[in-house]
Amino acid sequence: MTFYRNLILAALLLTLGVVSLGAYVRLSDAGLGCPDWPGCYGSVTPHHAAESINAELAVRPDGPVSHAKAWKEMVHRYFAGTLGLLILAIAVLSWRNRRDTRGGMGLPLLLLGLIIFQAMLGMWTVTKLLKPLIVTGHLLGGMATFAMLLWLWLRECGQHTHAYYARVDHLRGAALLGLVLVVIQIALGGWVSTNYAALACTDFPMCQGTWMPAMDFEHAYTLHRELGETASGDLLPLTALTAIHWVHRVMALILTVYLGWLAIRLFRAPGYTGMGLLICVLLALQVSLGISNVLLSLPLALAVAHNAGAALLLSSLVVLNHRVRRR
């Protein structure tokens, strides 16, 4: 079963890379670098599609298609495809060794179903022209894949039942709520990113020079609409983008206060000081990256790091929830 556990770990690390690479593709405006799926203009690589890409560049030199963007998009697909094969192998091995694995086949099969749905979302991301609801769903699917693989790895390794961990049954609800709040914040952050609202507020801590800027929540959170448009097809107003950004900031404040309180409670539980410290460090990193992205006008490296940091913060809450339930 060592190979099985190592395969899960490999898929887990690859998922973190795929999530980060997906953020890089989105933030570098390469999401339509290849406007078809799964290939690039029907070819396996952008190199084989060079003639079609050149033809598109001749018509729209500043359009969404270029050789560099096509390679970014396809490299992301290659990594995602490899991840799909790894998860398929995990599901097959869990069935073949079902008597030796921990917890049954439910989670591996659920992962397999999720990765298939993720592939469909990836296709719709392109064919639906970066529709925010689909792109945000694709991001959340990637985060869910990462969290489920981490839980599966923790379950199979069974390394969190040491006697020095105190009983913290009273923290189970608090740990679960922390996980839920992180997921909500990731969804709100995804909505900011997929609507390109990260720079709707370019100052901090205020937004547009005030604590309460003009905001349009109705159009901001109308889910079924095209990128940059209202449901009726009009141009999405700045007030809607401001609302999207502002809500993400407010939720970040709520999450910071809550996780800070949770960390203090973990410091008081024998064996959980390291867990509380890890949550504090990752939370501080995320807040710093978020503020830096605003003040520095969203540099690509920091924006991608903010996405990766969200996955790491999510992982810390997954580990915490696994630990308090295993004990």
Are residues 170 and 143 both part of a single domain? no
Query: Residue 143's pLDDT is what?
Result: 98
CA count, 13 A, side-chain hemisphere, 56: 20
User: CA–CA separation, 239 vs 218, rounded Å?
Assistant: 10
The structural domain count of the chain equals 2
Report pLDDT digits (tens) over 215-250.
999 999 999 999 999 999 999 999 999 999 999 999
Report pLDDT digits (tens) over 248-261.
999 999 999 999 99
Q: For 132-142, what is the mean pLDDT?
A: 98
Domain boundary pick from 103, 137, 159: 159
Are residues 68 and 212 both part of a single domain? no
Are residues 134 and 181 both part of a single domain? no
Q: For 97-121, what is the mean pLDDT?
A: 91
Are residues 132 and 252 both part of a single domain? no
Domain boundary pick from 124, 159, 194: 159
Q: With bands split at pLDDT 50, 70 and 90, how would you rate the model's confidence at 160?
A: very low
Query: Residue 159's pLDDT is what?
Result: 53
Q: With bands split at pLDDT 50, 70 and 90, how would you rate the model's confidence at 151?
A: very high
**Residue 73 reports pLDDT greater than 50:** yes
**Residue 16 reports pLDDT greater than 50:** yes
Q: Which residue range(s) make up the domain with 116? A: 1-159
Q: With bands split at pLDDT 50, 70 and 90, how would you rate the model's confidence at 266?
A: very high
- Which residue out of 73, 156, 218, 229 is catalytically annotated? 73
Are residues 229 and 293 both part of a single domain? yes
Q: For 91-111, what is the mean pLDDT?
A: 89
Are 115 and 286 contacting, i.e. CB atoms less than 8 angstroms apart?
Answer: no
* Other Cβ atoms within 10 Å of 140 Cβ, number: 16
Mean pLDDT score of the chain? 95
Are residues 151 and 177 both part of a single domain? no
Are residues 305 and 248 both part of a single domain? yes
Are residues 300 and 182 both part of a single domain? yes
CA distances (Å), origin 203, targets 27, 53, 140, 210: 20, 39, 28, 9
**What HEC string does the chain produce?**
CHHHHHHHHHHHHHHHHHHHHHHHHHHCCCCCCCCCCCCECCECCCCCCHHHHHHHHHHCCCCCCCHHHHHHHHHHHHHHHHHHHHHHHHHHHHHHCCCCCCCCCHHHHHHHHHHHHHHHHHHHHHHCCCCHHHHHHHHHHHHHHHHHHHHHHHHHHCCCCCCCCCCCHHHHHHHHHHHHHHHHHHHHHHHHHHCCCCCCCCCCCCECCECCCCCCHHHHCCCCCCCCECCCCCECCHHHHHHHHHHHHHHHHHHHHHHHHHHHHHHCCCCCHHHHHHHHHHHHHHHHHHHHHHHCCCCHHHHHHHHHHHHHHHHHHHHHHHHHHHC
More confident residue, 289 or 1: 289
User: CA–CA separation, 287 vs 307, rounded Å?
Assistant: 12
Are residues 170 and 32 both part of a single domain? no
Query: Residue 300's pLDDT is what?
Result: 97
Catalytic site residue 73? yes
Query: Residue 327's pLDDT is what?
Result: 55
Are residues 93 and 180 both part of a single domain? no
Query: Residue 65's pLDDT is what?
Result: 96
Are residues 154 and 166 both part of a single domain? no
Are residues 199 and 260 both part of a single domain? yes
